[in-house]
Structures are given as C-alpha cells and as structure tokens.
Amino acid sequence: MRKTAPVTLDLNGIAKGYGVDRLAEVLQMHGNRAALVGIDGELRSFGLRPDRQAWTIAIEAPDIRRRAPLSMLALQDAAVATSGDYRHWANVQGRRLSHTMDPAKGAPLQSSPASVTVVAPSCAEADAWATALMVAGPTSGAELAQRNGLEALFVLHDNADGLQTQGVGHLFRTISEAMTPDTKG
C-alpha cells in the first residue's frame, strides 16, 4: 500500500525527553560529573549534588490554577517525565479537550488521568512511557507499567473534584500510600 496524501510526523511525545538526554550527554562529554538538566519539566540527573545527596525534584500537582508540588522525589542517575491534561488543552464549544490524542479514536483523550509521571534510565524513554501510559489510562496503563517494570505515578481525577494517586513500582507505591485526604489536590 502506498500513501498518497501528505504525511506528518509529530515527535512531541519524546522530543523534550530526547533533548534532555542530549543536554546531559554534552555536559558529560565536557567533563561534568554531576548535573540536573531539564526542558519544561522533563528532567535527567547524573551524579550527585555537591553535598553528595541525590537531586530533589518536585512532582507537580496537576492543577490548572496554580503550580504546586504534589510530592518530592530523589533522583539519581535517572530521568523523570510527566504527561498531563492540565497545562495544554483546547477549549472547543465550552469543552476542555486534551492535547494528547487517542490513536484508536483519532481524537483527543476523553477520560485520561490528570497526569502520569515515569522514572526511567533515559528521559526519552520516560517521556515516551508517560505519554503512552496517559493514553492507555489508569487501568490498562498500570498493567502495562507493571509488565514492563516501570516506575509510574498515575494522578487521577476523583468525583469530589480532588485527586487520587496510583503508584506502580517501589518509588511511587510509597507516595500513593502516603497520600491522605488532606494532601490531595
């Protein structure tokens, strides 16, 4: 079969993560032994801070009204990326539509998690998985994350206009267990 219509390729699902990985490589090529680099919230660390501690980063609460931390994460020789529905969307006829597309429907996601955060060895990998798990949703996404040995945090909208968390892997399971009604949303 041959494609006769124009074709576009959108690498937004991994572009920032790939860029972060390249930044880290350039720093290492120039002799840097430790750094935390990022583009728009996608982060990669190598080595330790000057005080010999892991890099402490915040996982942002998915809130369209303000930027606030949901949880803190110690990151060492790893990368973290988050996909969410709270920073980029389109308002169409009074309805907020996700910027992330559901490939099965060819339309914006309808009932996605508020956000999905993934920790992986590379930022491109974390970025790609965060987007894929966002599309898969909390049930199928969590199963996919478990099958692939991923560290993932799903932040879900609940019926009371708050948030619930669902962690996969040892890093995020403890965050989910620690969340109380006072710390949600």
Which residues, including other chains, have CB under 8 Å from residue 165's CB and lie 6 or more apart?
A: 70, 153, 154, 155, 156, 172, 175, 176, 179, 184
Residue the block writes with tokens 């303000």: 66
Give the pLDDT of the chain (185 residues) as one tens digit per residue: 566 767 666 666 678 999 999 999 999 999 999 999 999 889 999 999 999 999 999 998 887 788 888 889 999 999 999 988 766 666 667 666 666 667 676 666 667 788 899 999 999 999 999 999 998 988 999 999 999 999 999 998 777 667 888 889 888 875 555 554 444 44
User: Quick one: which of 95, 101, 89, 110 has its CA closest to 157?
Assistant: 110
Tell whether 124 is covered by a domain.
yes
Q: pLDDT (tens digit, 9 = 90+) per residue, 102-124?
A: 767 666 666 778 889 999 999 99
Tell whether 21 is covered by a domain.
yes
Tell whether 113 is covered by a domain.
yes
User: Quick one: which of 13, 50, 47, 19 has its CA closest to 31?
Assistant: 47
Tell whether 166 is covered by a domain.
yes
Q: Which domain does 88 fall in, by range?
A: 15-178
Q: pLDDT (tens digit, 9 = 90+) per residue, 12-21?
A: 667 899 999 9
Tell whether 7 is covered by a domain.
no
Tell whether 90 is covered by a domain.
yes
Pairwise CA distance, residues 150 & 170, whole Å: 9
Element (H or E) spanning 151, and its range?
Answer: strand 151-157
At residue 7, the 3 state secondary structure works out as: coil
Strand order in the sheet with 79-84: 35-39, 42-46, 79-84, 115-120, 151-157, 163-168
Q: What is the DSSP secondary-structure string of 103-148?
A: TTTTEE-SS--SEEEEEESSHHHHHHHHHHHHHHHHHHHHHHHHHT
Contact 156, 114 (CB under 8 A): yes
Residue 157's CATH number:
3.10.520.10
- Domain count across the chain: 1
At residue 176, the 3 state secondary structure works out as: helix
In this predicted structure, what is the pLDDT of residue 88?
A: 63
Please count the other Cβ atoms lying within 10 Å of the Cβ belonging to residue 31: 6
